[in-house]
Homo-oligomer: A and B are copies of this chain.
Amino acid sequence: MTIYDISKKAGVSIATVSRVINGSGKVSEKTRKKVLAVVEESGYTPNLFARGLGLNTMHIIGILCVDSSDLFLAKAVYYLEQKLYENGYGCLLCCTGYQQENKEKYMKLLLSKRVDACILVGSSLVGQTLEDSRYIQDAAKEIPVMLLNAYLNGPNLYCVLADDYQATYAAADQLYRAGKRNLLYYYDSNSYSGKEKLRGFQDAMKANGVDKKEQKTLYYSGSREDIPSMKAKLAGLHQSGVAFDGIIASDDNLALSAVKFAQSIGWKIPEEFAVIGYNNSLLAQCCEPELTTIDNHLETLCSQLTATLMDVQGGKPAASRMVFPCTLLPGGTTPALERIPEHSPKRKAASAG
């Protein structure tokens, strides 16, 4: 709500609203109360007043994620907070969960707090349907909306992404060429990023002559923290007679459960069974042997997103979409692989910006 909306709703001129807000000039007590009632009802008070007085904005950025205690999202939130603080901004943290209704409620909360912009962390916040993403596009009518590792097109929307398609393609392709002919893709998300990874796997298989009908994928729908349940899901597939000698996982948690599963039935890693995880999280180190994992350079993504946001705030031109390559980090869960050439995301960013 702007000063124009308030003037309309209160049935007074903009000049009168301005006088009330600024406390300048004469306004009758009755009119003053009427205007303040509308302002109060709108819920937009503090910043409206700050702006009306020509003072600075609140310098607060809203950060939305489904769960800030998820390993990957926790890192992202931390990096963003650090980089925004360096730029003089505070972070209002919102953990929405997966329910559409709550995502929308939180977004309304952020708008009512008059944040300067908001950052959506991870692609689970972007809806599967246009309708489910409308709350994001609506928010972008009021404030800049930044998406970290998610994609949505529209005005005032800015996306900074890892190239999950390319990374998963390369991982599957290399494992196939290293002799693993029964690869399984194990995943737990149908978000934009999740779909990109799946497509990367499928295309790599196809390029190696494995038809879609013969491709093996397994979807896990439980909690990201329930390693035994992830392991049991794989054991179920194995017991049903499906053969697999390697797993590309959409997340290190799933990859670690695959290593535990293989060890529980005595398969030798990496000779008889190979595993590649995703995110280069703490779990990759915790696994024994350490996981081969895909590093999506999360800190770089967060730096770039913050830099883009600062450009937007400063009225400078800003890329609406920036995609950065990932790196495959070899660990003990795969045979010798070619390392995906190490790109320099910073250099890439400079040429993209």
Contact = CB atoms under 8 A, between A and B. Distances in A.
Interface of A: 19-24, 27, 29, 32, 36, 39-40, 45-47, 49-50, 53, 55-56, 58, 60, 63, 67-69, 71, 74-75, 77-79, 81-82, 85, 90-95, 106, 109, 113, 225-228, 253, 256, 260, 263, 282-283, 285-288
Contacts of A285: 225-228
A95 B81 contact: yes
Given A49-B46, A74-B74, A78-B68, A21 B23 contact: yes
- Which are the 8 A-B pairs with shortest beta-carbon distances? A23-B23, A46-B46, A69-B78, A74-B74, A93-B93, A49-B49, A227-B285, A69-B74
Given A45-B50, A46-B58, A90 B92 contact: yes
Contacts of A69: 74-75, 77-79
Contacts of A56: 45
Contacts of A45: 49-50, 53, 55-56
A144 to B, nearest CB: 19
Nearest to A96: B85
A282 B225 contact: yes
Nearest to A102: B85
A289 to B, nearest CB: 10
Contacts of A263: 288
Nearest to A89: B109
A78 B74 CA distance: 9
A50 B113 CA distance: 12
Nearest to A283: B286
Given A55-B45, A69-B75, A63 B23 contact: no
Nearest to A47: B46
A45 B92 CA distance: 18
A78 to B, nearest CB: 4
Nearest to A75: B69
Contact of A23 (B20, B47, B58, B81): B20
Contacts of A20: 23
A56 B39 CA distance: 12
